[in-house]
Amino acid sequence: MTSQSKHQRQLWFTKPYQVEVRESEHSAIPAGSVRVRTLCSGISAGTEMLVYRGQLPEELGLDASIEGMQSKPSYPLQYGYACVGEVESLGTGVATHWLGKRVFSFAPHGSHFVSACDALIELPATVEPEDAVFLANMETAINLVQDGRPGVGERVAVLGQGIVGLLLTGVLARFPLQELLAVEGIAQRRELAQSLGATSTCASSRLNEQEADLIYEVSGVPEALNSAITLAGFDSRIIIGSWYGKKTAAIDLGGKAHRNRISITTSQVSSIAPGLSGRWTKERRFSVAWQMLESIRPSRLITQQVPLLEAEQLYKQLDETPEKIVQAVFVYDYYQ
């Protein structure tokens, strides 16, 4: 372990299109908690950009299942949910075996954070920190698969190959599907989708002139719902994994959707589908997510590793030229 620093740096969203890094001294560690030194934290180009642009719906909390994110959002605020770090200090009552453990936390971006031990997820020895930052998004991908229930020989389409779409494609590629189509306008992401197991890719919605049995909409673009409807056949399932925030779009339900008995389901990882909740828990789903991370090794999707002090430039780039970034990760330097 490195020597402990006396200060910490935290990222704050102060108003739409403005972020700043604030420095402060460490606070005391409550009994039963630990202080974690962050190694890296992953940026969600979907939800975080809603925060950055001021597009969050005012009536909803940021996340229903993460402590500290259930209240209605207001600036200034901290955000982020993919921190990987190393336990460097213990509060009273914490067993010494926690010291030095590498852990995942749904904590905002920052060089350090304090957490109760039961809110931390220990990294398996076989998973590197750069792969572990994808844990939250991998859990989302698995939740989408469970909600969609892909069947043997089905034709499946994934609209959008951002990080969630790419991880979803990687998991679906392990099923005996007839076709797995990745729809994405950015050529680099189509190439990544193929490397993860997509059988075909395209920049616009088509499926070899055949209708899909199952369509996932994870592009973050509301208009893509109409593309999903276009791909759907009779009794097809559409799973909406995108969070549009305040964005809305007209949906064409007057054409083929009217007669095709299409099922449209919204999917969100903070809960488990009622049909599975009798047998599945968050812990069980996380165990599968770790297995998928070890198998897929998504660290290859990281295109930018940026110090936290360069956050302002990075968010500006994510807003203005998102096509140049697949996954950005903050890395942290430490000082006395």
- pLDDT per residue as tens digits for the range 171-205: 999 999 999 999 999 999 999 999 999 999 999 76
Residue 280, in any domain of the structure: no
DSSP string of 25-63, one letter each residue: EPPPPPTTEEEEEEEEEE--TTHHHHHHHT-S-TTS-S-
98 and 67 both lie in a single domain: yes
113 and 62 both lie in a single domain: yes
Type of residue numbered 79: Y
Using pLDDT thresholds of 50, 70 and 90, give the confidence band for residue 1: very low
CATH (domain of 41): 3.90.180.10
262 and 179 both lie in a single domain: yes
Q: What's the rounded Cα separation, in Å, for the pair 98 and 110?
A: 20
Mean of pLDDT values over 60-64: 52
For residue 143, give every residue at least 6 positions away whose Cβ sits within 8 Å of its Cβ, in sequence order, or none: 267, 268, 269, 272, 273, 285
175 and 249 both lie in a single domain: yes
Q: How many domains, the chain?
A: 2
252 and 307 both lie in a single domain: no
119 and 143 both lie in a single domain: no
Q: What is the largest CA-CA distance in the chain?
A: 67
Domain boundary among 242, 266, 290: 266
Q: Three-state SS for 67?
A: coil
Answer yes or no: is pLDDT of 114 > 60: yes
CA distances for 224 relative to 94, 218, 286, angstroms:
49, 9, 29
Residue 240, in any domain of the structure: yes
pLDDT at 70: 44
Answer yes or no: is pLDDT of 243 > 50: yes
pLDDT at 63: 55
Mean of pLDDT values over 234-250: 88
Instruction: Give every strand in the sheet of 179-183, ordered side by side.
Output: 200-202, 179-183, 155-159, 212-217, 232-240, 263-266
pLDDT at 60: 54
For residue 69, give every residue at least 6 positions away whose Cβ sits within 8 Å of its Cβ, in sequence order, or none: 61, 62, 63, 81
What residues does 159 pair with on adjacent strands? 183, 217
The predicted-structure confidence for 268-311, as pLDDT tens digits, reads as follows: 999 999 999 999 999 999 999 999 999 999 999 999 999 999 99
Q: What's the rounded Cα separation, in Å, for the pair 252 and 193?
A: 28
pLDDT at 209: 55
Residue 292, in any domain of the structure: no
Answer yes or no: is pLDDT of 82 > 70: yes
User: What's the whole-model pTM score?
Assistant: 0.90
142 and 251 both lie in a single domain: yes
Q: What's the rounded Cα separation, in Å, for the pair 11 and 9?
A: 7
28 and 104 both lie in a single domain: yes
Which residue has better confidence, 239 or 250?
239
Residue 203, in any domain of the structure: yes
Answer yes or no: is pLDDT of 156 > 90: yes
Mean of pLDDT values over 144-163: 97
**Residue-number span of the structural domain to which 199 is assigned:** 136-266
55 and 162 both lie in a single domain: no
Residue 287, in any domain of the structure: no
22 and 115 both lie in a single domain: yes
Answer yes or no: is pLDDT of 59 > 70: no
CA distances for 91 relative to 31, 113, 179, 251, 325, angstroms:
5, 13, 52, 53, 39
The predicted-structure confidence for 254-273, as pLDDT tens digits, reads as follows: 877 888 999 999 999 999 99
Contact call for residues 177 and 156 (beta carbons, < 8 A): yes
Residue 278, in any domain of the structure: no
Percent of the chain topping pLDDT 70? 92
Answer yes or no: is pLDDT of 336 > 50: no
pLDDT at 71: 52
CATH (domain of 170): 3.40.50.720
12 and 63 both lie in a single domain: yes
Burial of 290 (0-12, 13-18, 19+ CB in 10 A): buried
List the single range of 64-73, 102-111, 221-230 with lowest mean pLDDT: 64-73
Residue 170, in any domain of the structure: yes
Type of residue numbered 232: A
Type of residue numbered 99: L
pLDDT at 64: 47
Residue 284, in any domain of the structure: no
**Using only C-alpha atoms, what is the Rg of the chain?**
20
What residues does 113 pair with on adjacent strands? 36
Q: Three-state SS for 243?
A: coil
103 and 67 both lie in a single domain: yes
